[in-house]
Structures are given as C-alpha cells and as structure tokens.
Amino acid sequence: MKDDISISILDAKDKVTFLNSLVKAKENIQSLDVKTNIYKLNIHFDVMDLKFVPNVGVDLKYVEIAKKMGFFADVHLMVQKPVEDKFIDKAIEYGADNITIHYEIENFEESLKYLLKMKKKIYDKENKNFTIGVSLKPNTKIDVLKKYISKIDRILLMSVEPGKGGQKFIDKINDKIIFAKEKYKNTIIQIDGGINEKTICKPIREGIDSIVIGSYLSKSLNFTELYNKILILNCIHTIEKTPRRANMKLDTTTLQVVDGGYGENDILLGINVPDIRKCANVWYKYIGIECIRYFFSSPFHDYRRFAIFCIINNINILYKKVLKDNKDKNSLKQIKDYFKLFEDNIMYVNNWDLTDVAGPNIFAYILYMSNEKQKKKKLYKYLNSNNFWTKRIAIVSMLNFVKNDYLELPLEVCDYVLYDNFHLFQKATGWVLRELYKKEPKVIVEYLHDKNKIKKLPSILLSYACEKMTIMEKEKIRNDIDEV
C-alpha cells in the first residue's frame, strides 16, 4: 500500500485553479527519477451540512471535476444524515472513490450498512474497489470501532475538532496512531487537521498511511511555493521512513545532547550518517534552496545533516562545471546561491559532525572561488568568530586544501590556532597537522618539534597530529631526542 497525501481543497479560494496546479504538481512529482516511496496525491473533500458541524464545506460537484483530472476522490462527510440527505448518493454519482462518515452521527450503523450496500453495488456494476472510512473526533476512543472493523477500509483520526480549517494539531493524536496501527493492522489509518511540515514528522514516524493536508498547501501563493511544499513533505517522508540504526547512546554522548552540553537543544532521530547521506543522494537534484532552507533550520539534527549533504552534492557538481568552463554563469550563480544559503544559516552548523563535513566540502570551496585578498579576509573572519563552531569550520576546511596539495595556507592556519586551549580546536588542528604530515613528514615533525620547544603544545593536539608518526618522530617532538 502506497502512502498518500489527501489534499483538502476546503480553504482554496479558486478551487479549479488550485486543482489544476495540483495536476501539474502530480505530473512533476511522478516524473522524478526517485527510487523511494513518493506520496500519492489524492483530493480530499470536506462536505458539511451546518448540523453536524457549524460550517459549510465543499460542494460535491468538485468531486466530478477532480475525477476528470485523474485524482482519487476522498470524500469526508461531516454531516448528521448522510443517507437521508442524499450526501452518499450524490458523492457516488459524482465518482467518489472513498466515503468517510463519522462514528458520532445519530444513525451511524444504518449509514454504514447503506455504504456497504452501495460498495457491493458499485463493484458489481463497475468492478470498482470503492472504499469506506469512519472518522473519529479527537476525544472518541478507537475501541468503539472494534465491532465494525471488518466492514471498513480506513479509520480517519481527527487531529482537530471537525468543521473548520486552519486549527492547531492536537499532539495526543500521535498516541492514537500508534494504538490504531497496532490494533487494526489491515486498515488504512488516516489523520486530518493541523498538518504542516512541522506536525507531519511524528505521524509519519508512527506509521500513518494517509495524511489529509489543507491550508498548509491550499493557501500557497503560487505554484512554485505549492510544489516546494510537496517536495519538502516527500523529503520528510523519505527521512522519517529511514531505519533507525544509529547508536543513540553513543551519539548522545559524543554530540553532547544533554543538559549543559553544546548539543543540548538538538533532537536526534537515530538515523546514522550513511543513511541520511543516502536520503540526500535521493533528493538533492530535485529540491532547491527554499526546500533545503527548511531542513537547515530544523530542530532535528538528522534533518540538518540532510541539508548539508544536499548542499555538498550540488556544489560538487557545479564546481566541476565551473572548472571546466569558467564562463558558465548559471553554475556560478547557483554556487553563490548555495554559499549564501550556507552562510545565512551557519548558526545551525552547530556540532562537530556538521562542521567537519561542511568545512572541507562547503567553506573550502567558498575560499577556492575567492581571490587571495578575499580568501584571507573571509578565512580570518571565521577564525576570529565568537561562534566556536564557525571557527572550527575554518580550521577543518584546510583538510580540503591539504588533500589538493595546497599546504602553505593550512600550515598558516595551524600556526594561528596552535596553542588554543579549547579542546575542539585542538582536535581539529591536530587533525589538519596529521594530514599535513602525510604530505610533508619531515617538515611537520620539525615544525612541531620547534613549536613544542617554544611553548608546550596541548596534549590533545599532539595526540591527533602524531597519530601516524613513528616512535622516534614522536620522541623528537617531545624533545626526548634531538635527531630522528
């Protein structure tokens, strides 16, 4: 069963124009070469009668329009008398694929029996798998459906009070999702109300099958905004469906996601780095700056990793194009846009695992694409930053320079921060020196030997810098012997 987003058109000002935009969005999504479970886009029709809820909903005529456009029509009847007032008959006449009624209506059992009768009739006549749903208000317990579960295809859990768009998501519904998924394994579990890019995460994590989304999408100002939001929701779906294989105890400790730690405000989802990189590899070609911006500022650490990997993937491709043709203005502009995105959101690159991929793979390229004067100015601006993560980005960016045999600048940076007393800088500097040693072993041994004579070097820095050295080289640096 493919997960779906059932898009409510209740709050769309011009419903036909909005449906046309959704047709285009659906076609674009379906054309992506993405080997992952992309959301199927359905249309949700909130039909009301001013009795069961004090509001007027969508005219059922839009079901027929949506069907002609090729959409699955998901009809939600928030009405007191769906049979007597002919709502069911009219929805079926217009081509509804699913009709959901409320458990809380007066004649629920009779209405359900009528739907079952119509389901058989539709199948016999059209060979069509028409489905039946039952909706529960936020305070209605799921157990009430136990005796009816064999007769229904989906359970719609209202995550707001029914009848009005734009309400705030009720968090306790996440517990109902867990209970429903466990108790009714063969039934589609759907939620409706208050869903946006922030509230959707936990329901996906808990295994929700279908999500009704209204004003978050229907109030988009233009197609680009609408399409970007749909892309974001699909990226979230990919991330949240990724297995949790990380060692949470280890990550919590090493990233200091504890009270008073430098990662205390982070939320870890438990997705390991290779898996989140795979998520980025799926989506980076298709999501632009605005989509990445959402993930960059997320409270979820794993989402920020995703954003950084997406930027890295794009910069790698664009930089190669620029090297091949420095007159490629489009690629140049895109690189600058990614650099700006990175620098505008650098406050979110706030743990060592993020700095240590962003420094060599993003900031280094900012430096490469600057002239000598600009390069030094930007580098030392980072090195002198009051934000210690920004300073670490500058230090570890030198790993890229060492890798590409530009050794003078990395050694200059090491010299600048050599005696810093903060352990995160000592580790980063030692790491750069270790890589420099691989390129110029004698030079680095002499350099550390001389510096340690002038002033004792931090032990953490030395442990990293000397990791690949011989015993005699280490002894020379400690000034135990004079020659190697």
Residues 190 and 209: beta-carbon distance below 8 Å: yes
Question: In what helix (H) or strand (E) does residue 93 lie, and over which residues does it extend?
Answer: helix 87-94
For residue 165, the number of C-alpha atoms closer than 13 Å in the C-beta half-sphere is: 24
Give the alpha-carbon dihedral of 350, 353, 354, 358, to 10 degrees: 130
Q: Count of CB atoms within 10 A of residue 451's CB?
A: 17
Provide the 3-class DSSP secondary structure of residue 52: coil
Q: What is the DSSP letter of 172?
A: T
Q: Count of CB atoms within 10 A of residue 211's CB?
A: 24
Q: Tokens 């049979």 map to which residue?
A: 83
Integer Cα distance of 251 and 272 in angstroms: 9
Tokens standing for 184? Answer: 């009714």
Integer Cα distance of 307 and 310 in angstroms: 5
Integer Rg of the chain from CA: 29
Q: Count of CB atoms within 10 A of residue 153's CB?
A: 16
- Give catalytic residue positions: 46, 192
C-alpha of 147 from chain center: 39
Q: Tokens 């004079």 map to which residue?
A: 482
Phi, psi for residue 433 in degrees, rounded to 5 = -65, -35
